Structure 1
Amino acid sequence: MNDITAIPIPGLASSEVAVPAPAEGTQRWAGAPTAMLDPDGATLLTYRVRDAAGDRVVLARSDDGVRFETLTEMTSKALGVAMVERAALVRTATGWRLYHSCAEPGTKAWWIGLQESRDLAGLATASLRRLEMEGPLEAFKDPIVRHNGSDWQAWVCRHPLDIPGAEDRMSTIYATSDDGISWRNHGTILAARPGEWDARGARLTTVLPDGRACYDGRATPAENWLERTGLAVPTGTGAQLRALDGGPVADVRYLEVLALPSGGHRLYYEARRRDGAHELRTELHS
């Protein structure tokens, strides 16, 4: 269970650009991916783009996992929020759900929003429903959502808002639900480690079937948007995770690991360029 060599790590295979940066410079980003396989074997990818026009969440499809065709997109303006970040796409018995990261205009608050549609194209015009997981001094974003046909699980990044100017701090909570709408927050399962490279917090980005996980961490407020990837393993107590020692394993953020029917994995992650822009890259690990 603790064999980190079995966890796919960025940089151990050649990478390709799946979605280029929208422009040069800082805050010009393509990334924050989530991926799943369609029944026909195609890859469905959800990612965030940030540029001069604002934020948008894009849904795209690919037959080879590298070259994507846009199916639909949702802008932050159309959703009525200030910004969007990572979203989670889930297939249900009656259609699709898209769980959004939504920034409250004029505040540091974030909340999880839900769109539902019978088909993927319909998500673009579906109404946005606000879900409650937090208290008055907490912001929640960047969800990982799993549905096995009956039960629902979510791992969500929590940002405390109790100290003005320190909202960049982060940890990960675990939540469960009977319907994917009303959630039970079971508390923090992965948190900052004082004095370590992830002293400012830990944001879970992918959970493998056996419970091992990858997360984003950073040491200081100045490293906001410069997160790196670390590894975590189950502790054997509930949903709790333990960060592995040894520092970050890759200088990327929002790592998504998609298990393939062949037994291999395809990785998607947000990578920084020298000009400050971020691009979405992919690697195939057989």
Structure 2
Amino acid sequence: MPTHRISAPLPAFDPAQGEVVMLPEAPEAGYWTGCPGVLYEPERGRWLMTYRRRRPRGHPDGERGWRCAVAVSEDGVDFTDVWSVESRQLGTDSMERFSLLPTPGGYQLYLCYVDPADSRWRIDVVDAAAPDAFDLAGARPALTAAGTGTEGVKDPYTLRHGPVTYLFASYAAAGIAAADADRAHATADVFNTGVTTHPTGLALSLDGGATFAWQGEAMPTGSGWDAYQTRLNSAVPLGPGAGWLGFYDGIASHEQNYEENCGLAVSYDLRTWHRLSTEGPWAAVPYGTGSVRYVDAVVAEGTWHLYFEAARPDGAHELRLARVPVG
């Protein structure tokens, strides 16, 4: 390991002062708008973002993660949908975070949802020439529970570095009793059951995302506030030889599921991550559950753009943006 220290040019920020980008459908618990995945395209003068809308369990018009979309903006604040999918179109109980990746021929969209065949979370990928042209009839598996030897994979974050496509995913670790697994998957949400932990795993592709090789654990769960889940959400290069700064979600138990907080980690090679937030979260809001999750960080035009999902005093979640000058 290199012996020099990493200095992250990111001053502390107050997530409560962030700008509201998208509101929830209703000001009540269980209504969330978030899971942002962001691309900045300076050559086109635009921002692209994937996001999700969620409703409470039991909602008559579709519950949990019922709608995901791709949206476009010229200023990074006001977004307009150009493509969307609803859970009924996939026959799924829920969808969560998507990830958009540019390719030489256009874009790849990585989508995660509960597989209707076995009630385990999975990740698919579909290609298109433009961000409004995805046809799910052409989607193919990227990662599945069976293919990774896990109890489910979800919440992809993708990046391309040199010839390699990196696919980070939260996964439900295997090794639980069959009866516990059956009960957990009967809920169509093993991540919310407490029967296993949820580290971040890594898959690699050398053929532009046509196939992925599962590498296993890249960032383990911690021993304190992030002992149940450690989910890497984004990574920002810090400069030549300085490694990468990662933003991850953590919780101590399944009772905090859906209300995670953000921590920081570093990596020199994108394959192994070392947490910096060992004593507690890096960011939280001072109301509600305090949740600040799914932080997707982009450095553009000398400014950190931190997109995230945040809890509100009324129990709902909204999508926000904090802009912090590079310090």
TM (normalized to structure 1)?
Answer: 0.90
SS of residue paired to 1:21: coil
- Structure 2 gap ranges (5+): 181-192, 238-242, 285-291
Q: How many angstroms apart in 1 are the aligned matches of 2:40 and 2:293?
A: 22
Q: Which moved more, 1:132-141 or 1:220-229?
A: 132-141
Q: What secondary structure sits across from 1:250 in the alignment?
A: coil
- SS of corresponding position for 1:259: strand
Distance 1:149 1:92 in 2: 12
Q: 2 CA distance for matches of 1:8 and 1:221?
A: 31
User: Matches of 1:79 and 1:149 in 2, distance apart?
Assistant: 33
**Residue 106 to residue 276, structure 1, CA distance change in 2 (3 Å):** farther
Q: Against the structure 1 CA distance between its residues 88 and 32, is the aligned structure 2 distance closer, same or farther, given a 3 Å change threshold?
A: same
Q: Distance in 1 between matches of 2:135 and 2:12?
A: 33
User: In structure 2, what residue type is equivalent to 1:226?
Assistant: E
1:182–1:265 CA distance, 2 compared to 1 (3 A): same
Query: Rg larger in 1 or in 2?
Result: 2
Does residue 178 of the first structure (1) align with residue 210 of the second (2)? no
The aligned counterpart of 1:232 is: 265
Which amino acid counterpart does residue 307 of structure 2 have in structure 1? Y
State the secondary structure of the residue aligned to 2:148: coil
Flag the 1:167–1:36 CA change in 2: closer, same or farther, 3 A. farther
Question: 1:152 & 1:237 partners in 2: Cα distance?
Answer: 13
Closer, same or farther in 2 for the Cα pair 1:246/1:95, shift >3 Å? same
Residue of 287, 311, 314 corresponding to 1:272:
311
Name which of 185, 207, 216 aligns with 1:187: 216
Which residue of 294, 298, 316 corresponds with 1:254? 294
Q: Superposition RMSD on alpha carbons, in Å?
A: 2.2
Q: Note if contact 2:150-2:171 (Cα within 8 Å) is conserved in structure 1.
A: no
- The equivalent of 1:28 in structure 2 is 31
Q: Which residue of 2 aligns with 1:243?
A: 275
1:32 Cα offset (Å): 0.4
Contact 2:244 2:270 in 1 (8 A): no
For each residue in 1:214-249, what CA deviation from the matched residue of structure 2 results, as whole angstroms up to 9, or x when unmatched?
100001111111110011112x57721111133101
> Does the aligned pair in 2 maintain the 1:74–1:124 contact within 8 Å?
no
Q: Please say if residues 96 and 116 of structure 1, whose CA atoms lie closer than 8 Å, have aligned partners that are also in contact.
A: yes
Corresponding position of 2:320: 281
Shift of 1:83: 1.2
Q: 1:197 aligns with which of 212, 220, 225?
A: 225
AA aligned to 1:185 is W
Cross-structure match for 1:219: 252
1:135 aligns with 2:135: no
Task: Give the SS at the match of 1:77.
Answer: helix
Identity of aligned residues (%): 30
Q: Would you say how many aligned residue pairs link Structure 1 and Structure 2?
A: 282
Deviation of 1:184 (Å): 1.3
How many angstroms apart in 2 are the aligned matches of 1:184 and 1:139?
Answer: 16
Q: 1:19 to 1:124 in 2, by over 3 A?
A: farther
Whole-angstrom distance in 1 between the partners of 2:320 and 2:89: 27
Query: 2:62 aligned with 1:42, yes or no?
Result: no
Gaps of 5+ in 1: none
Question: Which secondary structure state, in structure 2, belongs to the residue aligned with residue 32 of structure 1?
Answer: strand
Show structure 1 runs of 4+ deviating over 6 A.
Answer: none
The 8 Å contact of residues 228 and 248 in structure 1, kept in 2 or not, is answered as yes
Over 3 Å counting, the alpha-carbon distance change for 1:268 and 1:9 in structure 2 is farther
